[in-house]
Amino acid sequence: MSGFILQRLLQAIVIMAVMSVIVFAGVYAIGNPMELLIPPEATQDVRERTIQRFGLDKPLVEQYFLFVKNLLQGDLGRSYIYNEPVLKLIGSRLPATIELVTTAIVGALLLGVPLGIYAGYRPDSPVSRAIMSLSILGFSVPTFWVGLILILTFAVELGWLPASGRGDTVEVFGVGWSFLTLNGWSHLALPATNLALFTFAMMVRLARAGTREVMLTDTVKFARAAGISERVILTRHVLKLISIPIVTVFGLELATTMAFAVVTETIFAWPGVGKLIIDSINNLDRPVMVAYLILTAGAFVTINLVVDIVYALLDPRLRKGHAR
């Protein structure tokens, strides 16, 4: 087991190294790095200091190692617009995004998997058909459009829920959280629903397909022959069997949901990282973009690593060293 984790860890490091090359190439080789890293209105003094710091006058290979060195020291530059270290800026916006993404994805999982299992268990019932229609919509309809419709319906027409912002927050560990207040929840409701829909659709589909397949196997037939009730078959046998693909996709979904948060945060003016990146694209605040890319890549690699490990824990057949 530990050998397996070590192997995956090494892979993750290699991938991260490759990613850093790609980002470096994207930022420094394709675009004009001067333009990327130095604000257009900068003084000659600032210009020269930046060139020196990033070694822009040095050969490309040397530049790359300097880039990595700065990266490892947590130096990702300063934002032109906010005139703050980029890392600090992103750090201050991160909790809002984490809160939104977590609410969405946990909600999608807790609702999507049971509904999907039901739809796979009784594929022909009207309820299952309704669930599937919802999931097809969740797949097909672009996130931004669902967001607009949610605002139009619940904020503009009905006036039940606010359309933007985080609402009242409570400080824990020096960070404000919306989910601790009722008002915060009312602000969280629409964006979280919006963001959850795609993952929900994915969970429904996966759970349904898995259940349909598992229900036809001899494993289920044998459990039935032993007199085990349908409820226990679904909650113990089936759930455990379909959990492997669900966990895998869930991990990847976590990443995708982070990405879609960009769209949702823009629509609902949710002050998270996603909104920050769109703002910085529009304002040409490139250090923020670079940092965001690197951090996202890092997050992806980490998520993939965790998924692999959980996968191994779930499937006893993969646990090496445990067998005789």
Between 175 and 241, whose beta carbon lies closer to other proteins? 241
CA–CA distance from 135 to each of 28, 121, 207 (Å)?
Answer: 42, 16, 12
**What is the C-alpha R_g of the chain?**
24
Between 169 and 204, whose beta carbon lies closer to other proteins? 204
Nearest-approach distance from CB 151 to other proteins, in angstroms: 7
> Is residue 180 near other proteins by the rule CB under 8 A?
no
Chain residues 189-248 in contact with other proteins, contact rule CB under 8 A: 213, 216-219, 221-229, 232, 236-237, 240-241, 243-244
> Is residue 311 near other proteins by the rule CB under 8 A?
no
Instruction: Judge contact between 294 and 239, C-beta under 8 A.
Output: no
Between 52 and 217, whose beta carbon lies closer to other proteins? 217
Q: Quick one: which of 59, 140, 158, 159 contacts other proteins (CB under 8 A)? A: 140
The residues, any chain, with a CB within 8 Å of residue 112's CB and separated by 6 or more, are 199, 200, 201, 202, 203, 204, 207
> Is residue 137 near other proteins by the rule CB under 8 A?
yes
Between 47 and 212, whose beta carbon lies closer to other proteins? 212
Nearest-approach distance from CB 144 to other proteins, in angstroms: 5
Burial category of 6 from C-beta neighbours within 10 Å (exposed 0-12, middle 13-18, buried 19 and up) = exposed
Nearest-approach distance from CB 265 to other proteins, in angstroms: 11
Q: The tokens 């995004």 sit on which residue?
A: 97
Chain residues 15-74 in contact with other proteins, contact rule CB under 8 A: 15, 18, 26-27, 30-31
Between 188 and 261, whose beta carbon lies closer to other proteins? 261
| Dist. CA 310–CA 147, nearest whole Å | 33
Q: Quick one: which of 51, 98, 180, 293 contacts other proteins (CB under 8 A)? A: 293
CA–CA distance from 53 to each of 17, 19, 42, 83, 218 (Å)?
Answer: 21, 22, 15, 17, 66
CA–CA distance from 197 to each of 115, 190, 262, 264, 322 (Å)?
Answer: 13, 11, 15, 11, 39
CA–CA distance from 72 to each of 35, 66, 133, 144 (Å)?
Answer: 23, 10, 47, 36
Nearest-approach distance from CB 162 to other proteins, in angstroms: 12
Nearest-approach distance from CB 3 to other proteins, in angstroms: 19
DSSP H helices, the chain, are: 2-24, 33-37, 44-54, 60-72, 86-121, 126-140, 143-150, 182-215, 218-225, 230-232, 239-267, 273-282, 286-314
Between 71 and 249, whose beta carbon lies closer to other proteins? 249
Nearest-approach distance from CB 45 to other proteins, in angstroms: 28
Nearest-approach distance from CB 189 to other proteins, in angstroms: 18
The residues, any chain, with a CB within 8 Å of residue 69's CB and separated by 6 or more, are none
Q: Name the residues that contact other proteins, by CB under 8 A.
A: 15, 18, 26-27, 30-31, 136-137, 139-145, 148-149, 151-152, 156, 163, 213, 216-219, 221-229, 232, 236-237, 240-241, 243-244, 252, 255-256, 258-260, 262-263, 266, 277-278, 281-282, 289, 293, 296-297, 300, 304, 314-317, 323-324
